[in-house]
């Protein structure tokens, strides 16, 4: 039997592999690595188990990172979603107009030009506020893609069965 620490590492990697989403092209390599791990466990070869566990852990880490970057089925933890409203651009345009008028009244055309740039900036922020983080997350989820535009998917049934088999062997 493998050492308790190694068995815990294997269980943790297998649990991660169940939850993550990887590119469709990555799952066959994971299945091959799972077969190597199963053979190493069957032969009780700890060195081979460690060697087979490394690419599985790397794949699990990659899947976790991709999931976090892709907004994997949840909103970002530290970003507060804004309330979507179509009035933000109108409010931004009104504020920009007020700034332009004040700039012209206070300093003529030179200050007017400076406040025009600043007003465009405010209008841009108002336009960006009409699309919330939740909208962006739902759009990524609808595409089913990671930020690299590569389609991701959950573990296929072959991989899930291999994971169950290894868990029974432990």
Give the confidence band of 6 by pLDDT, cuts at 50, 70, 90: confident
- As a whole number of Å, the end-to-end CA separation of the chain is 8
What mean pLDDT, rounded, does the chain reach?
Answer: 78
Predicted TM-score (pTM) of this structure: 0.55
Query: For position 150, what pLDDT does the model report?
Result: 65
Q: Closest Cα partner for 49 from 169, 156, 157?
A: 169
Structure tokens, 44: 């009780």
Asked if the model's pLDDT at residue 85 lies above 80, the reply is no
> In the 8-state DSSP scheme, what is residue 102?
H
Query: For position 35, what pLDDT does the model report?
Result: 93
Domain boundaries, the chain: 4-72+146-169
Query: For position 38, what pLDDT does the model report?
Result: 92
Q: Is the model more confident about 65 or about 75? A: 65
Burial class (CB in 10 A: 0-12, 13-18, 19+), 16: middle
Query: For position 100, what pLDDT does the model report?
Result: 84
As a whole number, mean pLDDT of residues 4-28 equals 88
CA distance 92 to 127: 8
As beta bridge partners, residue 23 has 152
Q: Is the model more confident about 146 or about 99? A: 99
Query: For position 154, what pLDDT does the model report?
Result: 84
Q: Closest Cα partner for 131 from 86, 92, 73, 96?
A: 86
CA distance 140 to 69: 10
Query: For position 90, what pLDDT does the model report?
Result: 76
Contacts 24+ apart (CB under 8 A), 29-33: 29/55, 29/59, 30/55, 30/56, 30/59, 30/155, 30/159, 31/156, 31/158, 31/159, 31/162, 33/59
DSSP reduced 3-state for 22: strand
Q: Is the model more confident about 124 or about 71? A: 124
CA distance 122 to 126: 6
Asked if the model's pLDDT at residue 60 lies above 80, the reply is yes
Query: For position 77, what pLDDT does the model report?
Result: 44
Give the confidence band of 80 by pLDDT, cuts at 50, 70, 90: very low
Structure tokens, 130: 């009409």
Per the listing, tokens 């990697």 go with 13
Structure tokens, 76: 């970002």
pLDDT more than 90, % of the chain: 18
């Amino acid at each position: 039997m493998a050492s308790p620490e190694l068995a815990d590492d294997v269980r943790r990697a297998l649990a991660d592999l169940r939850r993550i989403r990887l590119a469709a092209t990555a799952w066959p390599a994971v299945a091959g690595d799972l077969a190597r791990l199963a053979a190493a466990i069957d032969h009780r070869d700890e060195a081979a188990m460690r060697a087979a566990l490394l690419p599985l852990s790397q794949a699990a880490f990659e899947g976790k990172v991709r999931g976090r970057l892709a907004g994997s089925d949840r909103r970002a933890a530290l970003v507060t979603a804004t309330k979507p409203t179509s009035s933000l651009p109108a409010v931004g345009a009104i504020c920009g107009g007020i700034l332009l008028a004040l700039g012209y009244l206070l300093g003529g055309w030179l200050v007017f030009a400076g406040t025009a740039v600043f007003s465009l900036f405010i209008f841009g922020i108002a336009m960006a506020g009409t699309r919330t983080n939740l909208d962006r997350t739902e759009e990524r989820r609808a595409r089913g893609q990671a930020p690299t535009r590569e389609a991701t998917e959950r573990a296929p049934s072959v991989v899930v069965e291999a994971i169950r088999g290894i868990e029974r062997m432990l």
